[in-house]
Amino acid sequence: MAVVDSQKRILSGMRPTGKLHLGHYHGVLKNWLKLQHEYDCFFFVADWHALTTHYEDPYQIEQAVWDMVIDWLAAGINPGSATLFLQSRVPEHAELHLLLSMITPLGWLERVPTYKDQQEKLKEKDLATYGFLGYPLLQSADILVYRAGHVPVGADQVSHIEMTREVARRFNHIYGREPGFEEQAEAAIKKMGKKQAKLYRELRKRFLEQGDSEALETARALLSEQQNISIGDKERLFGYLEGGGKVILPEPQALLTPEAKMPGLDGQKMSKSYGNTIGLREDPDTVAEKIKTMQTDPQRVRRTDPGDPDKCPVWQLHQVYSDDDTRDWVQQGCRSAGIGCIECKKPLADAIIEEQRPIIERARRYEQDTGLVRGIVAEGCERARSAASDTLDEVMNAMGLIYDI
Ligand code: TRP
Ligand code: SF4
């Protein structure tokens, strides 16, 4: 079994809601692009999550799945560095969800803020279902089944990561204390050799008695480097370090996605529900048309009226797409009525189209060869399953579910 370095592992998922737009690109995807080089990344399509709210009309999910995977690939997510997969093809997520459900107090789920919020927001749907209540716990299983140390998410999802940490802690507390845990941990320390054992004990003491978190970090690094103790012993010592039992499911951290300052066509945040989006793979003519018909400063009625960029959504997009020179040109030209709005929008439309050109080009290859996309996802699912089933083995072992048959 492979040793998992949780601190290097990242997991994140997206619901298949259809084609992605530039808001997704400047927010989530650009962040993933960076992370894929720095961590061992698992990115998945959360199709079961889509069912928690769309159980009555699941038929569009399939198309949305493929559109989204092509969007990821076209944006530059590299299946050579990141594992791309489909949740419903890794049944271990469901298995862990079930096992975790045994120890998860109902109150924890009822208290997750998104539970009531979403029910309010999606009033037309009957969300008084078991699946909808349990959806944050499914998310916990998504994360914990890979023992991922970091989870890139938006601010709206942080409460789910918090709950995941509580579930992991509770699991480790209940199932991480085999009989004779302390004796086993002490025996494991001795196996590290005199010098290392002494260092471990000192660091542990500094953390447990003085809350010295630097000592905790150092001790963790020390454990990671150990070659001559078994994986089981290592996990015991990770847990013992913090005064608890064996760490079977490590607690993940939320890695907050930098807030995308991506305005939509009307100046509000770009979002499908506001109908103000530009698609990631929108064709150039449509982009040009959408920019051309954008609302500008309402005070600027005639070409000869000076305008105020601060009251204009076009300016907000210039701030994302234009260099300093172009921005100065907009500011001066607008305020002095030196330029007209059509003129002002031109470099903006050009910049967006330029940004999309390579993305659309890459997408074309995948659209024409759906076998290629399916192959990438199939391989990702296999890699994901292998990692997930390692965790399940440990979980079942800890829960006493290993039968000799
Ligand atoms: N719940 C997330 C959303 O709606 C998607 C998601 C499901 C997810 N499982 C996850 C995100 C695990 C991060 C990690 O956006
Ligand atoms: Fe907006 Fe540009 Fe017109 Fe000024 S000139 S109102 S910034 S579109």
Q: How remote is the CA of residue 15 from the centroid of ligand 1, in Å?
A: 7
Q: How remote is the CA of residue 12 from the centroid of ligand 1, in Å?
A: 6
84 and 159 in one domain? Answer: yes
Cβ of 90 below 6 Å from ligand 1: no
229 and 153 in one domain? Answer: no
Tokens coding 209: 């008695």
Specify if 228 maps to a domain. Answer: yes
Q: How remote is the CA of residue 228 from the centroid of ligand 2, in Å?
A: 67
Q: Looking at the DSSP assignment, which residues form a beta bridge with residue 207?
A: none
Cα separation, 350 vs 185, in Å, equals 63
Specify if 217 maps to a domain. Answer: yes
Tokens coding 148: 């991922």
Specify if 303 maps to a domain. Answer: yes
Compute φ and ψ for 152, nearest 5 degrees.
-70, 120
Give residue 2's pLDDT: 57
Per-residue pLDDT of the chain (405 residues; tens, 9 = 90+): 556 889 999 999 999 988 999 999 999 999 999 999 999 999 999 999 999 999 999 999 999 999 999 999 999 999 999 999 999 999 999 999 999 999 999 999 999 998 988 888 888 888 999 999 999 999 999 999 999 999 999 988 999 999 999 999 999 989 988 778 889 999 999 999 999 999 999 999 999 888 888 999 999 999 999 988 998 899 899 989 987 788 999 999 999 988 767 899 999 999 998 999 999 999 999 999 999 999 999 999 999 999 999 999 999 999 999 999 999 999 999 999 999 999 999 999 999 999 999 999 999 999 999 999 999 999 999 999 999 999 999 999 999 998 877
**Closest CA relative to residue 154, chosen from 252, 35, 256, 72:** 256
257 and 159 in one domain? Answer: yes
- Residue pair 249/240 in contact (Cβ under 8 Å)? The answer is no
DSSP H helices, 122-279, are 130-133, 135-144, 158-175, 181-191, 194-210, 213-225, 231-241
132 and 10 in one domain? Answer: yes
Amino acid at the residue 132: F
226 and 337 in one domain? Answer: no
**3-class state of residue 254 by DSSP:** strand
Specify if 26 maps to a domain. Answer: yes
Cα separation, 3 vs 330, in Å, equals 55
Specify if 247 maps to a domain. Answer: no
Give residue 211's pLDDT: 83
In total, how many domains does the chain have? 3
Q: How remote is the CA of residue 189 from the centroid of ligand 1, in Å?
A: 38
Give residue 91's pLDDT: 98
**Closest CA relative to residue 85, chosen from 23, 156, 146, 155:** 146
Give residue 320's pLDDT: 93
Write out residues with Cβ below 6 Å of ligand 2: 296-297, 300, 307, 309, 312, 314-315, 330, 334, 339, 341, 344-345
201 and 188 in one domain? Answer: yes
Q: What is the pTM of this model?
A: 0.88
148 and 30 in one domain? Answer: yes
Q: How far is CA 16 from CA 61, 70, 86, 118, 121, in A?
A: 6, 12, 10, 17, 19
Q: How far is CA 75 from CA 5, 323, 367, in A?
A: 28, 22, 14
- Residue pair 253/150 in contact (Cβ under 8 Å)? The answer is yes
- Residue pair 45/66 in contact (Cβ under 8 Å)? The answer is no
Cα separation, 300 vs 335, in Å, equals 10
- Residue pair 73/366 in contact (Cβ under 8 Å)? The answer is yes
Give residue 177's pLDDT: 82
Cβ of 45 below 6 Å from ligand 1: no
| Ligand 1 atom closest to residue 160's alpha carbon, by position in its atom list | 1
Q: How remote is the CA of residue 297 from the centroid of ligand 1, in Å?
A: 38
CATH of the domain at 304: 1.10.240.10
Specify if 248 maps to a domain. Answer: no
- What is the CA 79 to chain-centroid distance, rounded? 16
Q: Which domain holds residue 224?
A: 181-241
167 and 204 in one domain? Answer: no
127 and 71 in one domain? Answer: yes
388 and 362 in one domain? Answer: no
Give residue 261's pLDDT: 75
Cα separation, 380 vs 370, in Å, equals 15
Specify if 267 maps to a domain. Answer: no
Give residue 260's pLDDT: 67
Q: How remote is the CA of residue 273 from the centroid of ligand 2, in Å?
A: 25
| Ligand 1 atom closest to residue 11's alpha carbon, by position in its atom list | 14
Q: How far is CA 170 from CA 147, 167, 240, 247, 274, in A?
A: 15, 5, 15, 11, 40
Residue to mutate, 290, 301, 314, ligand 2, most ligand atoms under 8 Å from C-beta: 314
Q: How far is CA 214 from CA 187, 211, 218, 220, 326, in A?
A: 25, 9, 6, 10, 47
Specify if 281 maps to a domain. Answer: yes
| Ligand 1 atom closest to residue 139's alpha carbon, by position in its atom list | 9
Cα separation, 56 vs 331, in Å, equals 50
- Residue pair 82/41 in contact (Cβ under 8 Å)? The answer is yes
Cα separation, 63 vs 67, in Å, equals 6
160 and 147 in one domain? Answer: yes
Residue to mutate, 11, 14, 42, 146, ligand 1, most ligand atoms under 8 Å from C-beta: 14
Q: How remote is the CA of residue 49 from the centroid of ligand 1, in Å?
A: 8
CATH of the domain at 22: 3.40.50.620
112 and 23 in one domain? Answer: yes
